Chains A and B, each alone.
Chain A
Amino acid sequence: MSTYKDRYKSADDGLRFQDLVYQGNFKGMDPVPDGILGDKVLRQRAKSKVLEKVSKEDVLRDQFTVDELNDLNNYLAWNIWDVLVMRATEGVSGMIPRQEYEILAFMHEFYRWPEILEMTTNEVGAQRIIDIGASARREIGTKVNCVHDWCIGAVGFGMGRCGLLALEAIQPQDYVRESNIILKFMQRILWGKRQDGYILNSQDRYRCRIHEKDILDKLLGQIEYFEPGSEKHDSLVRFNAAAELLSFLDHYDCRLGLGDTGPYELPDGKILIIRDLFTNEEVYDWSDVCDHENVPHCYTICLVIDPDKMGLSEIRVNDISTTFTRPKNYIEHIVGGAVFVREKWDTPMGEVYPVKISELDKRLEGIQQATFKLYTKFSRMSRRTLITNGMYVYYIDMILPHLRLAGTYEKACKDYEFWEIDQRVSNYYYDIVKRGFAQATVPQKIFSGEGYLPFPDNVSLTRSKYYWK
């Protein structure tokens, strides 16, 4: 028997997925827990209405107030903690220096993105930015998804500003104008995608049910049902896992390679998760090994889960596109599935095609070969190359899908030198490895919430940064 639907009752506070609590900028106040209750507390403490359902007029307005900026700053800081604090215990990779490339990318994004996002908005208009978000409602295999959209604000603004404050490169009153540009871009994309007034899944009890009914019906028409533990079940699970692993690896051990939406409740009470696994991103030169194995841009896996057999008590599709459940093991309760292929990022939806579960084994072999070749390639790279490549994965890929659809990616590369590394960030490379800055200082600032200093109440909304010391 499942109880997960109780989580959607307005009085319900959800389950706690972790014992840790969050303090952030709320000194002297009760700490904030994870999950649905945490969202409620953050909204109660907000000074503005920006964390409630907002209208299209609100979203089209070009300027946030200082209170709105600070409410978004506080909410994103808690949301980052909510989805990532336990992941932060994972330590060093042994393969890819992720903490090092992450902090460099955070800071680079905060410096470089505002100009590129502003150019994009100027080129296509605010309404088109909303429409780009909305395009995710009618597509699968699109990187306009939770994790990318969230990263614009949570990573580019939130963690980027946090990292630069920790490095004492900027002050809390700096870059107000640029912060507004990043957060407006994020709000427009996310609002357009959800269309319910919210921008984040955590505001909607961790639901991301964005796909239109006719799209869902087409996908459901291809579902093959089976018994848990059957050969078909095992084939699908094996394929899902292997494709997910390659997606992580192609994206340098980060979650930009996968995107879940759901849970969609089906008429018979089962639930559907739609998972995009981006197994071959053509913008990376190392993806050539994926080309050699004929691995497509994206495999989309539809998973039908039986919540009653599982005894499902809560399911979260969080804002970094990852599904977590209680109990944790939903895999053995998958009772149906389907796989779709999008060969390239711009393959029209009409050309996305299904693959029968019985035909997955040959494709699995290609995924395994690509994984081994990619691993071997990475194992021969220098630490410096791995950090540089990883920095590009974050800095380029997080806004790549939006620029592609806006038609401004080429302009960003040509006129704005998108792939160049800012000299300041190049110099920070030498600072971040000292005194545990990347390994200890930044994670502590980010995951305690201490580093997300608010903008001063009386700061000018047009203030940038005018001097360096």
Chain B
Amino acid sequence: MSYVAEGYNSFETKKSPSGIVRYLPDPKSVISLIQSGKLKEHILLVQGGTTTFLAPALSMGSIGVITMSGAPESHLGILSREFQMPCVMTAYLTGSEARYVTGGNNDAHFAAIIKALDGKKVKLHCEDRETGRVSLLG
């Protein structure tokens, strides 16, 4: 199987959720998604690895998350484990050399990931102890 993206695996799990990637740029988009009633149809794509940004989505049962920064030790990593919600962190595109740099300007890197994943149907693979992977479906 080929993977479009991979990153840190928040925790090992046989759960392998699939759904349409939805990039969430701001709190309004999080609230809007929850109010739409379609939260569980989506794999959520977010920039940060902090937990408050996604708080209501986690609380209401989101099925999977891809972040573009952060690690299993980040607050979102901890909470994804507690919720048993698969989470691929600091994801990068397997076809690109670009990687997240802590404290650096990552705008182009983030834009490329959003362009490649937003709106696509994907599946998360989180069986491995260290690496979480993302495959394209359909």
Co-assembled chains A and B: yes
Beta-carbon contact of B31 and A444 below 8 Å: no
Beta-carbon contact of A96 and B52 below 8 Å: yes
Interface string of A367-411 (1 = CB under 8 A from B): 110011011101100000000000000000000000000000000
Beta-carbon contact of A328 and B55 below 8 Å: no
Roughly how many angstroms separate A297 CA and B34 CA in the complex, as a whole number? 27
- Shortest distance between the CB of A376 and any CB in chain B (Å): 7
A89 with B70: in contact, given A95-B27, A248-B79, A249-B55 (CB under 8 Å)?
Answer: yes
Interface residues on B, range: 35 or more
Roughly how many angstroms separate A226 CA and B46 CA in the complex, as a whole number? 36
- A149-157, A199-207, A235-243, A288-296: which one contacts chain B? A235-243
Q: Is B84 an interface residue (CB 8 A)?
A: yes
- A440 neighbours in B (Cβ, 8 Å): 103-104
Q: Is A230 an interface residue (CB 8 A)?
A: no
Q: Which residue of A lies closest to B48 (CB)?
A: A91
- Shortest distance between the CB of B105 and any CB in chain A (Å): 9
Beta-carbon contact of B60 and A368 below 8 Å: yes
Q: Is B12 an interface residue (CB 8 A)?
A: yes
- Shortest distance between the CB of A339 and any CB in chain B (Å): 15
Beta-carbon contact of A375 and B84 below 8 Å: no
- Shortest distance between the CB of B100 and any CB in chain A (Å): 7
Main secondary structure of the interface of A (DSSP, over half): helix
A90 with B48: in contact, given A245-B58, A327-B12, A371-B55 (CB under 8 Å)?
Answer: yes
- B84 neighbours in A (Cβ, 8 Å): 237, 241, 331-332
Residues of A within 8 A of B (CB): 83-84, 86-96, 98, 237-238, 240-242, 244-246, 248-249, 252-253, 255, 322, 324, 327-329, 331-332, 367-368, 371-372, 374-376, 378-379, 436, 439-440, 443-444
Pairs across A and B, CB under 8 Å, 25 listed: A87-B49, A87-B73, A90-B48, A94-B24, A94-B46, A95-B27, A95-B52, A238-B83, A240-B82, A241-B82, A244-B78, A245-B58, A245-B83, A249-B55, A322-B78, A328-B129, A332-B13, A368-B60, A371-B56, A371-B59, A376-B31, A439-B103, A440-B103, A443-B103, A444-B103
